[in-house]
Structure 1
Amino acid sequence: MQLYLDTANLDEIREAASWGILSGVTTNPTLIAREKGADFKQTISEIAELVNGPISAETISLDAPGMINEGLEYAQWHPNVIIKVPSTTEGLKAVYELAKRDIRTNVTLCFNAAQALMAARAGAFIISPFVGRVDDTGVDGMQLIREIATIYRQDRAITTLILSASIRHPRHIIDSALAGADIATCPFKVLQQAMRHPLTDRGIEQFLADWKSRT
């Protein structure tokens, strides 16, 4: 399973990229807005210099023509740009038209397997089920990943990648991989947490103590 970083913060991306684990980056209007004064196009361009992989840039239009126009513009910014559209019927129309132009899309805000199936049929490159937000409703978000994975695997014509989004904690990463996700996109703090363990810290302390006391 590939790991993406869910952020528009260049410092976070630069640090995570230095670990050698990043395959891509996802952004959205909220993440861009958090970077005060950041220019959308410039931010995407700078991310492309740090990560050699898909970079999701989200449209803000609610209608298909608007999404298509924005998608056509964003796609010119860099070959790695993926156009992010919502799981709506207008989003499906945009996916379908952009796919005809060989422009890849990421269908976001997916909350059921029917949405995922239709996105794949429309030609989506990536589907993004929001596991954390599904969990918030009292339903197992990983069950959604499993359902989509089963549906996709049964139809060889479907090549859409499953991206587990709304990752809240390190266990979500492992469960996503076990459930059949192709990608997990994570906040930087979750990636940091995933590399921490008290036994690792304790082991390092013990090794250093033993080394210092060798004489």
Structure 2
Amino acid sequence: MKFFVDTAETADIRELAATGLVDGVTTNPSLIAKSGRDIIEVTKEICDIVEGPVSAEVTATEADEMIVQGKKLVKIADNIAVKVPLTWDGLRACKALSDDGHMVNVTLCFTASQALLAAKAGATFISPFIGRLDDIGLDGMELIADIRQIYDNYGYETEILAASIRTVNHIRDAAKIGADVATMPPSVMKLLSKHPLTDAGLAAFMADWAKTGQAF
């Protein structure tokens, strides 16, 4: 499974990228607004930090303008994936941009039928929102499983990018089902390494080592 970081905070991206565990980055208008920076400037800096795909989202709602914005975004760097919403206009933009050879991430997916449309439109990535489905009492993992089955049935190459991830269990379950990518906040990525028994074991080892009086 590939790990993407869902943030526009470049300091966090640099810290995590240094571990070699980051395969890409996803951003959206809300994350850009939170960073307080110009979208072109911050996106270019992110593209310089990571070699993998960096999703940058259009802000238009009509297909023609999405295509114009997408073509502007891909000029930032070769690793830009244009992010478009899963609307009819978004699908039209996806088709046009993917036909031109650009990576496209179709976002705000909440049904397997939507995911099927995105794959047929040539999406590089489909972003089903796990957490938001869980918020309304549905099971986001069922959506991941349904999309995986449909894509495998027909050999679609669109990668399933599990998004709206809130917990480490989301990542584990999505990996078990076969999601290709998980995009997560920096805080959740760091939690993947945490376990109380790991902490307790390390504390015991260090205490025993201290008793030896030795030093490297």
TM-score by length of 1: 0.97
1:196 is the counterpart of 2:194 = yes
Query: What is the DSSP-based 3-state SS (H/G/I as helix, E as strand, rest coil) of the residue aligned with 2:212?
Result: coil
- Equivalent-residue separation in structure 2 for 1:49 and 1:199 (angstroms): 38
**What's the offset of the Cα at 1:149?**
0.2
Runs of 4+ in 1 over 6 A off after TM superposition: none
Residue of structure 2 in register with 1:80 after alignment: 79
The C-alpha deviation readout for 1:94-153, integer Å capped at 9, x for no partner, is: 011111111110000000000000000011000000000011111110000000000000
1:182 is the counterpart of 2:180 = yes
Query: Letter of the aligned partner of 1:151 in structure 2?
Result: I
**What's the offset of the Cα at 1:214?**
2.1
Residue of structure 2 in register with 1:212 after alignment: 210
Query: What is the DSSP-based 3-state SS (H/G/I as helix, E as strand, rest coil) of the residue aligned with 2:175?
Result: helix
Residue of structure 2 in register with 1:55 after alignment: 54
Query: What is the DSSP-based 3-state SS (H/G/I as helix, E as strand, rest coil) of the residue aligned with 2:161?
Result: strand
Residue of structure 1 in register with 2:33 after alignment: 33
1:162-173 to 2 correspondence within 5 Å? Answer: 162-173=160-171
Root-mean-square deviation (CA, aligned residues, Å) is 0.7
Residue of structure 1 in register with 2:141 after alignment: 142
- Equivalent-residue separation in structure 1 for 2:208 and 2:59 (angstroms): 58
- Equivalent-residue separation in structure 2 for 1:139 and 1:39 (angstroms): 36
Residue of structure 1 in register with 2:16 after alignment: 16
- Equivalent-residue separation in structure 2 for 1:51 and 1:97 (angstroms): 26
The C-alpha deviation readout for 1:139-184, integer Å capped at 9, x for no partner, is: 110000000000000112x110000000001111101101110000
- Equivalent-residue separation in structure 2 for 1:96 and 1:194 (angstroms): 36
Q: Percent identity?
A: 47
May I ask how many residue pairs the two structures share in their alignment? Answer: 213
- Equivalent-residue separation in structure 2 for 1:48 and 1:87 (angstroms): 24
**What's the offset of the Cα at 1:20?**
1.0
- Equivalent-residue separation in structure 2 for 1:87 and 1:180 (angstroms): 22
Query: Letter of the aligned partner of 1:107 in structure 2?
Result: V
- Equivalent-residue separation in structure 1 for 2:166 and 2:93 (angstroms): 29
Structure 1: gaps (5+ residues): none
Residue of structure 2 in register with 1:160 after alignment: 158
Query: What is the DSSP-based 3-state SS (H/G/I as helix, E as strand, rest coil) of the residue aligned with 1:22?
Result: coil
Query: Letter of the aligned partner of 1:76 in structure 2?
Result: K
Query: What is the DSSP-based 3-state SS (H/G/I as helix, E as strand, rest coil) of the residue aligned with 1:135?
Result: helix
Query: What is the DSSP-based 3-state SS (H/G/I as helix, E as strand, rest coil) of the residue aligned with 2:23?
Result: strand
**What's the offset of the Cα at 1:191?**
0.8
Query: Letter of the aligned partner of 1:210 in structure 2?
Result: D
Query: Letter of the aligned partner of 1:8 in structure 2?
Result: A
- Equivalent-residue separation in structure 1 for 2:169 and 2:44 (angstroms): 32
TM-score by length of 2: 0.97
- Equivalent-residue separation in structure 1 for 2:100 and 2:210 (angstroms): 63
**What's the offset of the Cα at 1:48?**
1.2
**What's the offset of the Cα at 1:87?**
0.5
Query: Letter of the aligned partner of 2:117 in structure 1?
Result: M
Structure 2: gaps (5+ residues): none
